[in-house]
Amino acid sequence: MEMMAVIAIIGVILAIALPAYSSWRERTAVRSAADALMAHLKQARHLAIAENRSVTIDFTPPPPPKRPVYWFDKGRGQPYRNKRIVLPRGVTLATRLTGGKLTFTSRGTAANACVTLASATHARWVEVNGIGRAYFAPKKPKGCP
Question: Cα–Cα distance between 49 and 140 in angstroms, integer?
Answer: 29
- For 26, half-sphere exposure in the C-beta direction (CA atoms, 13 angstrom radius) is 15
Phi first, then psi: what are they for 99, rounded to 5°?
A: 75, 5
pTM of the full structure: 0.79
pLDDT grade, residue 56 (50/70/90)?
A: confident
Mean pLDDT of the chain: 84
Per-residue confidence (pLDDT) for residue 101, from 0 to 100: 86
Q: Is the omega angle on the peptide bond into residue 65 within 30 degrees of 0, that is, cis?
A: yes
Cβ atoms within 10 Å of 101's Cβ, excluding its own: 16
Q: What is the pLDDT of residues 81-138, one digit of tens each?
A: 556 777 888 888 888 887 788 889 989 999 888 999 999 889 999 999 989 999 998 8
User: What mean pLDDT comes out for the span 48-59?
Assistant: 86
Per-residue confidence (pLDDT) for residue 110, from 0 to 100: 92
Res 78 pLDDT > 80: no
From the list 134, 112, 111, 115, the residue with the least C-alpha distance to 124 is 115
Q: What angle do CA 76, 79, 80 make, to 5 degrees?
A: 125
End-to-end CA distance of the chain: 55
Sheet holding 123-128, edge to edge: 92-95, 113-118, 123-128, 134-137
Instruction: Of 6-10, 66-70, 75-79, 130-134, give the lowest mean pLDDT range.
Output: 75-79
User: What mean pLDDT comes out for the span 59-70?
Assistant: 72
**Residues 116/145, Cβ–Cβ less than 8 Å:** yes
CATH 2.60.120.10 fits 2-137, yes or no: no
The H or E element containing residue 53 is: none
Where exactly are the structural domains of the chain?
2-137
Per-residue confidence (pLDDT) for residue 133, from 0 to 100: 92
Res 16 pLDDT > 80: yes
